[in-house]
Amino acid sequence: MTRFKLIVEYDGTDFVGWQRQANGFSIQQALEEAVTAFSGESATISAAGRTDAGVHALRQTVHLDLQRQSDPLTVLKAVNFHLKPARIAVVEAEIAPADFNARFSAVARSYRYRILNRRAPPTVDTGRVWHVVRPLDVQLMQRGAKHLIGKHDFTTFRSSHCQAASPVKTLDSLEVSRSGDEVVIDARARSFLHNQVRAMVGTLKRVGEGRWSPNDVKSALAAHDRSSAGPTAPACGLYLVDVVYPTPSHVKQPRGRKVDQQGQDKLERDQT
């Protein structure tokens, strides 16, 4: 039995989310069916983050176990072949230690939210940004965001369907920036509550529009009441950007190499 760690990119527009569901096609189902088509095995794939319907990923981390003897390059190429035409791709593959777990081994997750802030609607980014017409003051949004950084009870920014045992999370960073017509909100933490990032974005949008002051964010956080925050931002603007692990999850590959999406070997560096 070999455990593989895969880095996966996907456009979540046409899926019901990461997790298998009875009401539609999921990212997990697409990947598991591709693995079965390639290997003949019914592998269960676990992910670092169970993204919602419509949420995208640039570097989602997953793991799976295979009885079949395969090298990472074979797994990458074969799974991508059987994923077609789904908008999902394995961009990296490597062998991982048997105790590596994509979800529970992670020490940090990074999300990005994209807002297109202009009057004209999106064209090439349709389904990949939140279109907000009213001008947003990024400096005010950043001042509001500072109230959310640190360890807090995030009940105000938690979905009623959240299954986390506790609403207390530590938000390591929350940055708001602008590049032309695009406003970007970057969040990093060990883990997040269900809809936490989207609820924070919806709240910061109110601040950016001038409807709330930055201090209103602090009051909303202290209320511990979901109705005290802004609306949940649409899923289309949210991206899982990266997942961080405490130590390299890989073991040495044959000839000391691992593979990326281009099918080219990358020399592994000795990290201690």
Report yes or no: 111 and 197 within 8 Å, Cβ to Cβ: yes
Q: Do domains 2-105+246-267 and 108-241 have the same CATH topology?
A: yes
Q: What would the pLDDT profile of 242-268 be if each residue is shown by its tens digit? A: 999 987 644 444 333 455 544 443 333
Domain 108-241 is of which CATH architecture?
Answer: 2-Layer Sandwich (3.30)
To the question of domain 2-105+246-267 being in CATH 3.90.79.10, the answer is: no
Q: Are 138 and 208 in contact (CB under 8 A)?
A: yes
pLDDT for 52-109, tens place per residue? 999 999 999 999 999 988 999 999 999 999 999 999 999 999 999 999 999 999 999 9
How far is Cα 92 from Cα 248, in angstroms, rounded to an integer? Answer: 14
Q: Where are the domains of the chain?
A: 2-105+246-267, 108-241
Q: Indicate which residues carry an active-site annotation.
A: 52
CB-side exposure of 237: number of CA atoms within 13 Å? 26
Encode 251-271: b = buried (16+ Cβ within 10 Å), e = exposed.
eebeeebbbbeeeeeeebeee
In this structure, the strands spanning 130-132 and 108-117 are parallel
pLDDT digits (tens, 9 = 90+) for 213-240: 999 999 999 999 999 999 999 999 999 9
Q: Which of 43, 61, 53 is nearest to 16 (CA)?
A: 53
Closest to 117 measured CA to CA, from 244, 204, 22, 228: 204
Q: Specify the DSSP element, H or E, that contains 212.
A: none
Can you read off the two tokens belonging to residue 135? 């001008």
